[in-house]
Structures are given as structure tokens and as C-alpha cells.
Amino acid sequence: MHTVVVGTSGVTASDVLAVARGGARVELSGEAVAALAAAREIVDALAAKPDPVYGVSTGFGALATRHISQELRTQLQRNIVRSHAAGMGPRVEREVVRALMFLRLKTVCSGHTGVRPEVAQTMADVLNAGVTPVVHEYGSLGCSGDLAPLSHCALTLMGEGDAEGPDGVVRPAGELLAEHGIQPVELREKEGLALLNGTDGMLGMLVMALADLDTLYKSADITAALSMEGLLGTDKVLAPELHAIRPHPGQGASAANMLAVLKGSGLTGHHQDDAPRVQDAYSVRCAPQVAGAGRDTLAHARLVAERELASAVDNPVVLPDGRVESNGNFHGAPVAYVLDFLAIAAADLGSIAERRTDRLLDKNRSHGLPPFLADDAGVDSGLMIAQYTQAALVSEMKRLAVPASADSIPSSAMQEDHVSMGWSAARKLRTAVDNLTRIIAIELYAATRAVELREGLTPAPASRAVIDAAREAGVRGPGPDRFLAPDLAAADTFVRERRLVAAAETVTGPLQ
């Protein structure tokens, strides 16, 4: 099994994906253990002094003015976890919780939190045992960290609350820890606070969304190329020299991908035949510009994610010179903004894909295709309602594009008076990514049918490879009306599992 070693300098996106989705084992490096021990010595020394230090010997948030005596500090750390584990709503997905836990461990191992090595090791042990705390949808404002979600994870480390075992059954966390030989931790000064104060949930969801959207943008280039073929459009608009004079890198990459898919096509370039047109509609002609802008948004979001993956987010933090200083690095604004930005770009990509689908189905604009791509229009409705479904998904995408990060609701008696709502931005982006997958699947379904209905014209070899692979995967071709939902579900799976991209790349080579 793949193993990810956590050191003091952060982790990579591939590390997060390996642990969250691939079930990789986690180990602490010797460097991380040494840094943990050194930082803990600083915290222990401060805890022994009579002077109050935030997070070590005081209350939290608006209650930070109270100095806590030594005999109450263990209770204080236990209480902050219990009281902050106040989430509500549906359970969050297992991969999100594993990313959340792993990224909190990443910051703990930085040596800036003051957590003991044995606490960090317990976090790794829980991940390696496949024990997943029950975390709920609501409870994070994306400031002072993803407090409620992280608290539910910390509760599991204490042997309290509920968790899901490797068999998928939810049981008391204490029972699951005992079965795997894991001793619950008794938190000491600062440790409870250190386990709660991070942007780990929203960051984990950002990393996974970036991976998914990387595939979806390639998929959208492929389906746009297929739609161009189905509409007998011209690929001249994809010429590299046209995109070189507006040098946005994402635009160039999308155009290059479409051109690679269309190489050798016998369907493009017929726009001057029976129904002359000077140029194709925007949804066809401007596909690289829209998808390219989204790709450049991905690049910016990836840069933000990389910076955050290299960060130690906690409050207060232990500095190398021995100071323990309060700070505001837990604020989720940098992550929240790009999560919202990605949702906007995804909504627009879904919108332009739906417009191409609608054009394929409209006999007045499809340049010779049957109405709704039906076998016997009137008797058959063809893909009429598939486009309704796609339109409904696009409409929801537009609602999901409304930014969460523009909102702020004060909390903690006005101490935390401006929050990021980054967790909410991440949650809606996950829904948007799911919907975008379905939207692209419906365009794929319509475009492949349209290409096959162009009798006597030969699609590009890459298009043929996609059509053949889709048909083998249960995405059926033209014919009389049938129960359509299973076909659309097969198309969704075909896109979601990256088989669409893989099929095209058997001809084109790696797409950008």
C-alpha cells in the first residue's frame, strides 16, 4: 500500500488525494517528531509560568480574558472539543473527512502548534485504521478554522462521539479505537485548540475539486469538439495562430485539445454547403475562450492551494525563537475566494455546453439533423427531455455560483466579527462539480448521437474512439425512444471515471 510521509514543510495535492481517496497509509517523519517535541517543550515551559498565555492557560475566543489554573487545563482542552463538536445536518463524505484529518495532521507536524508527538501519532493511527469520524454538513464559518468539523474529528481521538469503521458501519468511536488497539488521547495545554484551528476542510475539498475539474475541462474540450462535428462547424477558429494573438494559456490549451480531437475529421468545414453560414454560433466558436478562462481560473486556484498546503495554520503558533503568538492565519478568505471563483467558472462551462446541446436538438439550427435527434420525430421525442434535465442542472449551477465568501455573520460575542464562509463555498462547489459532470455527460450523449446521424461523413479518429468506447460502456446510440435514464447514467459514469478522456487520448496522446 502506498505510504505518505508527513514532514515539517507541508504536503502536496497528490498526498492529499492518496490519503483521502486512495486510502494511503500515513507515517510521521523523524524530522516531524523532533519538531513536535521541541515545540512541546516551549508550551510546557510557558504552561508552568504564572503569566497567562492565550490557548495555553486562558479561555478561548471571547472568553480569552480568563486565566485558567493548572488543575483545570486538561478539563479546558476536553471541554473545547466537546462544546465545539456542534455540527448538524447530513454526514460529510468519507473522503472529505479523511482529507480534513490528514491536513490537520500536516499542520500539527509543522512544529508550530505545540502538540505532543503522541497526539500526532494517534491522528495517523486513526487514519491508517480506516476509522472516519462522523462530521456534519453545518457548523463551520470558515474562520478560527473549520471549527465544528475539526472538533468532531478531535472527539474521535478522545474516544468519544461516533465514527465509521472500515466496514462502513457507524459505531461509538471508543469501541472502534479499542478494536484497532488505539489508546484515546488525554489532551493537555493548547492541544484541544490546536486540533480545531485550521482551514483543513475547505482546503481538502479545494484539492479534490481541482483534481476533478482538471478532468472535466478536458472532457468539455472533447464534447465541444464532438458537437462541432455534429453541427458541421469549422475548426478553422481553433488555429494556433488565432489564439497566439490573445495569449491566455488556458484558451490556447483548450483550442489545442479540440484541434487534436478533430484531426482527420470529415465533418468539420461543411458550413458553406447546403445552408451557407459565415460563422458558427458563439457556443461553438467561442468554446476555447470560455473553457480557457476556466482553465486559467484553475491555475490560480491551484497556486492558492499549493501555498496553503505549505502553510501551518493555527492560533496561537509556536515560533522558532520560543514565542507563542496569536495571529489571524486561520481566516479562510484566500481559500474561500477561489472556491467561489471555481463555482462561477464551472457554471459558465456548464452553460455553454447546454447551449451546444440545445443547438444539436433544434432542427432550425442543427443544419440537417432530425428534430431532437429523434428516430421518428413526433412518434419519438428523442433527447428533448434530456436537454430539460441539462437545463435544470445549469440553472442550479447558476445558483451555486452565488459567492459564499461575500457573506459574513459575526460570532463569539463579536470577537469573531468577520468570517470567510469558506466551508460553505467548498460544499457548494462539490455539488457544482457533480452537476457539471452530468451536464457534460448529456452533451456527450447528444453529440455522439448527432455525429452518428451524419451518414456518409466520417468523424475524426479520436471522435470514433470516444463513440466506440462510450457504446461499449452502455451509452447507447441512435434509435427509437427508450427508457433514457440508464443511458444518461452510463454517460455520467463514463465521464466521471475519466473514461471519456482516456478514450480520446488513445488517439490524441495526452491532452493539455
Q: Which residues of 161-200 are buried (b: 16+ CB within 10 A; e: fewer)?
A: bbbbbeeeeeeebbebbeeeebeebebbbbbbbbbbbbbb
329: exposed, middle or buried (Cβ count in 10 Å: 0-12, 13-18, 19+): middle
> DSSP alpha helices (H): ranges in 281-421?
282-285, 287-309, 333-361, 384-400
The Cα 43–Cα 115 span in angstroms is: 9
pLDDT tens digits for 157-166? 999 999 999 9
Lowest mean pLDDT segment, chosen from 8-22, 33-47, 89-103: 33-47
* Residue tagged 448521437 (cell numbers): 449
Cβ neighbors of 88 (< 8 A, separation 6 or more) are 136, 137, 138, 139
Which pLDDT value is given to residue 286?
98
3-state class of 3 per DSSP?
Answer: strand
Cα 4 to its chain centre, rounded Å, is 20
Residue 53 has pLDDT above 60, yes or no: yes
C-alpha Rg value of the chain to the nearest Å: 26
pLDDT tens digits for 302-349? 999 999 999 999 988 999 888 888 898 899 999 999 999 999 999 999
Name the nearest CA neighbour of 74 among 185, 204, 178: 185
How do beta strands 25-28 and 3-6 pair? parallel
Mean pLDDT over all residues of the chain? 94
Cβ neighbors of 495 (< 8 A, separation 6 or more) are 216, 219, 437, 440, 441, 444
Cβ neighbors of 377 (< 8 A, separation 6 or more) are 363, 370, 371
pLDDT tens digits for 195-245? 998 999 999 999 999 999 999 999 999 999 999 999 999 999 999 999 999
In degrees and rounded to multiples of 5, residue 136 shows phi and psi of -105, 160
Which pLDDT value is given to residue 380?
97
Q: Could you tell me if 351 and 400 are in contact, meaning their C-beta atoms sit under 8 angstroms apart?
A: no
Which pLDDT value is given to residue 49?
82
Q: Could you tell me if 87 and 152 are in contact, meaning their C-beta atoms sit under 8 angstroms apart?
A: yes
> Catalytic amino acids?
54
Which helix (H) or strand (E) is 325 found in, with range?
A: strand 324-325
The Cα 12–Cα 18 span in angstroms is: 10
Which pLDDT value is given to residue 477?
97
- Greatest alpha-carbon pair distance for the chain in Å reads 90
DSSP string for residues in 371-397? GGG-SSBTTB-TTHHHHHHHHHHHHHH
The Cα 425–Cα 419 span in angstroms is: 12
Lowest mean pLDDT segment, chosen from 61-65, 87-91, 294-298, 442-446: 61-65
Which pLDDT value is given to residue 70?
77
The Cα 390–Cα 398 span in angstroms is: 13
pLDDT tens digits for 260-301? 999 999 999 876 556 667 789 999 999 999 999 999 999 999
The Cα 372–Cα 282 span in angstroms is: 20
Which pLDDT value is given to residue 276?
62
Question: The C-alpha cell of 405 is what?
Answer: 465568501
Residue 46 has pLDDT above 60, yes or no: yes
Whole-model pTM: value is: 0.95
Which pLDDT value is given to residue 177?
98
Question: The C-alpha cell of 242 is what?
Answer: 488565432
296: exposed, middle or buried (Cβ count in 10 Å: 0-12, 13-18, 19+): middle
